[in-house]
Structure 1
Amino acid sequence: MNAEEYSRIELSAFQSDGSLRGFVVSGRWPATTREWAQVLAMTVRIASLPGLLPTSTVFGVKEELPDDPEPGTVGLVVAEGPVLGERAVQPGRFAEHQPPALIMLHPPSETTPSLPENAGVASGCVLLPGIPHLGLEHRAAWVEAEPDGTVTALVSKVGVDPGNDPDTAILAMLLAS
Structure 2
Amino acid sequence: MTSPDRRIIGVAPFHASGTLRGFVISGRWPDTTKEWAQLLAFTVRVASTPGLLDTSTVFCVREELPDDPHEGTVGIVVSEGPVIGDHAVTPERFALHQPAALMMLHPPSETMPTLPECAGAASGCVLLPGLPHLGLDHRAAWVEAEADGTVTSMISRVGLDPISHPDTAVLAMLLAA
Superimposed CA distance per residue, residues 123-175 of structure 1 (whole angstroms, 9 cap, x where no aligned partner):
00000000000000000000000000000000000001110100000000000
Cα separation, 2, equivalents of 1:5 and 1:41: 22
SS in 2 for 1:155: strand
Instruction: Quote the offset at 1:66 in angstroms.
Output: 1.2
The match for 1:167 is 167
Q: Return 5+ residue gaps in structure 1 as ranges.
A: none
Superimposed CA distance per residue, residues 68-90 of structure 1 (whole angstroms, 9 cap, x where no aligned partner):
11000000000000000000000
Matched, 1:137 2:111: no
The match for 1:14 is 14
Matched, 1:157 2:157: yes
Q: TM (normalized to structure 1)?
A: 0.97
Matched, 1:88 2:88: yes
Which residue identity is paired with 1:105?
Answer: L
Cα separation, 1, equivalents of 2:90 and 2:69: 29
Q: TM (normalized to structure 2)?
A: 0.97
Residues 4 and 28, structure 1, Cα contact 8 Å, conserved in 2 = no
Superimposed CA distance per residue, residues 50-72 of structure 1 (whole angstroms, 9 cap, x where no aligned partner):
00001000000000111211000
Which residue identity is paired with 1:156?
Answer: S
Q: Return 5+ residue gaps in structure 2 as ranges.
A: none
Cα separation, 1, equivalents of 2:88 and 2:120: 24
Cα separation, 2, equivalents of 1:136 and 1:143: 23
The aligned runs of 1:1-177 (5 Å cut-off) are 5-177=5-177
Cα separation, 1, equivalents of 2:27 and 2:138: 25
Instruction: Quote the offset at 1:5 in angstroms.
Output: 5.0
Following TM superposition, the consecutive aligned residue runs of length 4 or more in structure 1 with deviations greater than 4 angstroms are none
Instruction: Quote the offset at 1:4 in angstroms.
Output: 10
Task: Please report the RMSD computed on the Cα atoms of aligned residues, expressed in angstroms.
Answer: 1.2
SS in 1 for 2:34: helix
Superimposed CA distance per residue, residues 1-31 of structure 1 (whole angstroms, 9 cap, x where no aligned partner):
xx99510001000000100000000000000
SS in 2 for 1:86: coil
The aligned length equals 175
Cα separation, 1, equivalents of 2:152 and 2:12: 22
| Identity across the alignment (%) | 70
Cα separation, 1, equivalents of 2:131 and 2:29: 20
Cα separation, 1, equivalents of 2:105 and 2:5: 27
Moved more, 4-13 or 45-54: 4-13
Which residue identity is paired with 2:112?
Answer: T
